[in-house]
């Protein structure tokens, strides 16, 4: 099966994404196009760069990074453990411009006290933005640096008006 990929450049990083033509299977943040392509070639057998497959998602990215409040309601395909998928589905419910703590997510899925496990699941989120893991913060409100880095997370939260 061919996996289609495309990129969207933002300020100091690149949003890279992949899908099967119907569903998005990967969205991440990268320092360069080369880094993204290397990762996609490691993950998938057949990779083809094709922006056309993602025209709706690209329009939403443009609107989002222009500061428009949007929800990414695109079909996705998740692979992970049952726990990870429960975490990611809960995180997907966090509204634009708001944050929740790792502890809140843990409690919401019936696993109070599992904040560290939630943090690990959030770190492994394969579909950033659509599953807005940047909206999950520490209980003291501090932005953690896991996954794709504190700088990107803060950039997204500032864009959404969640932090000054």
Taken in order of first residue, the domains within the chain and their CATH numbers are 2-65 (3.30.160), 82-159 (1.10.10.10)
What pLDDT does residue 148 have? Answer: 63
The band of 146, judged by pLDDT with boundaries at 50, 70 and 90, is: low
CA distance 131 to 123: 11
As a whole number, mean pLDDT of residues 108-119 equals: 96
The helix/strand/coil state of 32 is coil
The band of 145, judged by pLDDT with boundaries at 50, 70 and 90, is: confident
Q: At what angle do helices 82-91 and 115-123 cross, to 10 degrees?
A: 80
Using the predicted structure, report yes or no on whether residue 132 has a pLDDT greater than 80. Answer: yes
Element (H, E) at 19: strand 13-19
Residue of 122, 133, 137, 157 with catalytic role: 133
Model confidence, pTM: 0.93
Q: Radius of gyration of the chain from Cα atoms?
A: 15
Other CB atoms within a 10 A radius of the CB of residue 139 amount to 10
As a whole number, mean pLDDT of residues 45-66 equals: 94
133 assigned to active site: yes
Other CB atoms within a 10 A radius of the CB of residue 12 amount to 10
As a whole number, mean pLDDT of residues 51-60 equals: 94
């Amino acid at each position: 099966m061919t996996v289609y990929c495309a990129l969207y450049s933002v300020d100091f990083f690149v949003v890279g994404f992949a899908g099967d033509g119907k569903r998005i299977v990967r969205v991440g943040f990268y320092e360069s196009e080369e880094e993204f392509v290397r990762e996609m070639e490691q993950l998938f057998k057949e990779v083809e760069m094709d922006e056309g497959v993602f025209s709706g998602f690209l329009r939403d990215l443009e609107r989002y990074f222009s500061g428009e409040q949007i929800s990414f309601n695109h079909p996705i395909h998740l692979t992970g453990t049952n726990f990870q998928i429960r975490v990611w589905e809960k995180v997907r419910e966090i509204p634009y411009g708001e944050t929740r703590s790792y502890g809140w997510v843990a409690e919401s899925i019936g696993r109070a006290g599992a904040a560290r496990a939630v943090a690990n699941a959030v770190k492994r989120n394969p579909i950033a933005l659509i599953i807005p893991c940047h909206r999950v913060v520490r209980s003291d409100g501090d932005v953690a640096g896991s996954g794709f880095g504190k700088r990107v997370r803060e950039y997204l939260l500032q864009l959404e008006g969640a932090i000054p």
